[in-house]
Structure 1
Amino acid sequence: MIIRNFLVITTLVSAVFSSNYYTSNYALRLLFEKEVNFTLKLGALVEEYPTLEQDLPRSKTFLENPLITRESFSPEVINNPLNQYLLMWKFSHEWVYMANDMLKVSTKSDYDDTFDIVALSGEIKSSQVSEDDLAKAELSVLRVQEFYYLDPVDVIQGRVQNYSARSALSEEQTKKIVMKAKEYGDKCRVHQWGRAMEHLGMEVPDDARGVIKKPPTEEYCESISCSAGRGDGHCVTKDHYIASYQEACNNNSFKLKRSKKRNPPCFLNAIHPTQLLQPIKTEWISVNPPVYQFHGVFTHQECDEFWATGAAQQSRSTLVQKKTDGLGTTDDSRVGTNSWMRNADSSVVKMFSDRVSYATGVQTDVEVEDWQVASYGIGGHYWFHHDYLPEDSDFMGHLGNRLATFMAYLSDVPLGGATAFPNLKLSFFPAKGSALFWFNTNLNQADLPQTLHGGCPVLLGAKHIGNKWIRYKGQFLTYPCGKTPKSLPTLPASLCTYS
């Protein structure tokens, strides 16, 4: 039997992510494609074997109410965190039940050739989402709900601010999320979600009823951070840093107040032929620490090509340790994936590096780290941290510390996903083709603690970024040692016309 008109999925690639869907936007996209693919294959089987629909009672619901179709396949649908959670649930439960039913049917004598039925069952089984992976997705739903002050009633009904999911959460799914909050001792979320369930006429889990009857105080809930904390779900005291970070992540209406004398806006001169027609616009955001924002650094097509070059090589993001064998460790304070690319890998990678040099004056051919291409999964985030390396880090090597960070935004993000600096009360929301550039150390390699920053949870959309960390050793001509111990770097005067 030939089945036409379905999306082709690369099983080998998707299998790499089978136990970590929740961390990878790329893997989730492949899983959405499988939802379309398997539904079309199931429909073709039912059409070929008329009695199959009767033998597979679930098939009618699958065919009449698919989570996504080819026609509805759009960024708004596949990058909605509730749709992503519903998809993972379906591949953890409903599709697995269907695969088991198919195997039972294949043994019946009613079907002359059951190869296609068995084959589809095997494909479904190989795509199964693990219970641990689903549990992490439940924690991600709690993270975005707490972090962005969403009403649990809206979330259960499938609403993320002004965006709607393909369906509401079921009572069973909602109970699982409530119990996940209870597992991590988050009484505030248990109470919020439990009351929401009561409001919607759902049955509250027995283990959560005690919290409903004796709810935590409002003062207590305002003083802790659980799902929105480091990411592992455990509750911590909401100190100044956490409170400032959460505020910055939610502050998409921030208006920069600058002193024209100390923070002049800056526009890049067309110092290279590629910039003659469209000079890169540069804003000097902060003097201490030095932070710059570039506008129109890359075209949308260039961003898409750059992301596509590294997308298929993505693996779970890790954290740099003080002492490490180079592998790092995984932790839910960083929920995402990344890959690494060198200038020699493709012309678009070399072009990106050259563009960094044009904008900042840094050397990007030698003595720098490779490009890191990063993406985020369900509620993906990177808890606040510093980019400079600890003094005893084996990763320091002979190149010196990370003098500066260049972060290129490869996608627009409709909701959430800002880069926030809690100490500076600054937040930058991704705009495709723009970039941030900041110095992590002064000219004498002394750390600048005020550069504490984080990647806020993605509420809706796909966040892709490219990071280029500039090591000190290769930049001594452009950024020589400072005259004083606290000398701060700035963009070379030759790059800017100040006004």
Structure 2
Amino acid sequence: MQKISSISNELKDWILNTLKSGVNPESIVQGMIKKGFDQAFAYSTIIRILNNQAVNTVDREHATYLYETLEIANKGNIISTSEREIKVLLKIDKPYILYLDNVLSHDECNQLIELSKNRLEPSQIIDTYSGERKLAAGRTSKGAYYKLNENNFISKIENRIAEITNHPIVNGEGLQVLNYELGEEYKAHFDYFPSGQIQLENGGQRIATFLMYLNDVEEGGETIFPKIGLSIVPKKGTALYFHYGNSKGQVDRLSLHSSVPVTKGEKWVSTKWIREGMILQ
């Protein structure tokens, strides 16, 4: 069988992202070889990337991301839910990003933090080749995970997110609460899954992220989108919604983002990842 001797833009971005997260280059090479890449090509590609040299890529069919009109985009600058009005502070079309105010009350932010303090564990990433969760040097926060509708308080937040985004609760993963202490960060990454790790029978690809800020960070802790030069300063009660998957199965590479190190105080956020279909429980 002929060995693979070319990479796509998506794979190149994944390699860059994975290297930044602290994964050993040799592990990436071995993973590529197991996937059918030519050994010499795999080694030379990683070496070129490590040395910031140009790497030729082969775009997949329909590689240019198709931006589609989203339901949330038709709601205007005030998004009304059954219990509150959400104000749009910032909107960007490519990638599609909304920065929203009044998503959570200060009391709700405090309650979610207190509820999570005794559940925090070191944050993990999903390994591209094994599909298993594991620790990574590029993600140094701690996290607490909640089941869908785990209690009345969590259900209230889940329902609010569903009303804002028009994505059913069952299309989203359970809420995750993250705590970043001094110096902690999450290096540049994509939230969507690599093509080899998409489980169609269990919700399929991630297509959007709803990130809620639970406190004001004294210094640092911004959410950065490096490909478009956007920096979001955390503000208690606000949320960031960004959409990166379309009906064609494409993913938006402009959605690359990071959480820069906290340089004073600490940072609390809550994340809801939304998938294209229903997640089996």
The 2-side partners of 1:231 and 1:344 are apart by 32
Give 1:351's aligned residue.
Answer: 156
Q: Deviations over 1:380-406 (max 9, x none)?
A: 100000001011116665311011000
Among candidates 308, 313, 320, match of residue 126 of structure 2:
320
Q: Could you tell me how far 1:440 is from its partner in structure 2?
A: 1.8
Superposed structure 1 runs of 4+ greater than 4 Å apart: 236-240, 394-397
Among candidates 427, 433, 455, match of residue 237 of structure 2:
433
The 1-side partners of 2:51 and 2:153 are apart by 43
Give 1:398's aligned residue.
Answer: 202
**What is the identity percentage for the equivalent residue pairs of Structure 1 and Structure 2?**
25
Letter in 1 for 2:77: F
The 1-side partners of 2:276 and 2:81 are apart by 24
Q: Could you tell me how far 1:320 is from its partner in structure 2?
A: 1.1
| 5+ residue gaps, structure 1 | 1-228, 241-262, 476-499
Give 1:473's aligned residue.
Answer: 277
The 2-side partners of 1:370 and 1:323 are apart by 23
The 2-side partners of 1:316 and 1:391 are apart by 26
Q: Give RMSD over aligned pairs.
A: 2.7
Give 2:180's aligned residue.
Answer: 376
The 2-side partners of 1:358 and 1:336 are apart by 29
Note the 1:88-103 alignment, pairs <5 A. Answer: none
Give 1:293's aligned residue.
Answer: 99
Give 2:171's aligned residue.
Answer: 367
Structure 1 contact 266–284 (Cα < 8 Å) conserved? no
Give 1:28's aligned residue.
Answer: none
The 2-side partners of 1:380 and 1:435 are apart by 20
The 2-side partners of 1:367 and 1:288 are apart by 23
Q: Could you tell me how far 1:429 is from its partner in structure 2?
A: 0.8
Give 1:109's aligned residue.
Answer: none
Q: Within the alignment, does 1:268 sit opposite 2:72 as a pair?
A: no
Note the 1:13-412 alignment, pairs <5 A. Answer: 230=20, 266-272=76-82, 274-275=83-84, 279-324=85-130, 326=132, 328-364=133-169, 366-393=170-197, 397-412=201-216
**SS in structure 1 opposite 2:171?**
coil
Q: Could you tell me how far 1:296 is from its partner in structure 2?
A: 1.1
Q: Could you tell me how far 1:473 is from its partner in structure 2?
A: 1.0
- 1:323/1:461 Cα in 2 relative to 1: closer, same or farther (>3 Å)? same
- 1:271/1:463 Cα in 2 relative to 1: closer, same or farther (>3 Å)? closer
| 5+ residue gaps, structure 2 | 1-18, 25-48, 54-72
Higher alpha-carbon Rg? 1
Higher helix share: 1
TM-score, length of structure 2 as denominator length: 0.70
Structure 2 contact 89–99 (Cα < 8 Å) conserved? yes
Note the 1:483-498 alignment, pairs <5 A. Answer: none
Q: Could you tell me how far 1:299 is from its partner in structure 2?
A: 0.6
Q: Could you tell me how far 1:266 is from its partner in structure 2?
A: 3.8
TM-score, length of structure 1 as denominator length: 0.41
The 2-side partners of 1:300 and 1:445 are apart by 37
The alignment of Structure 1 onto Structure 2 pairs a total of residues equal to 217
Structure 1 contact 418–427 (Cα < 8 Å) conserved? yes
**SS in structure 2 opposite 1:432?**
coil
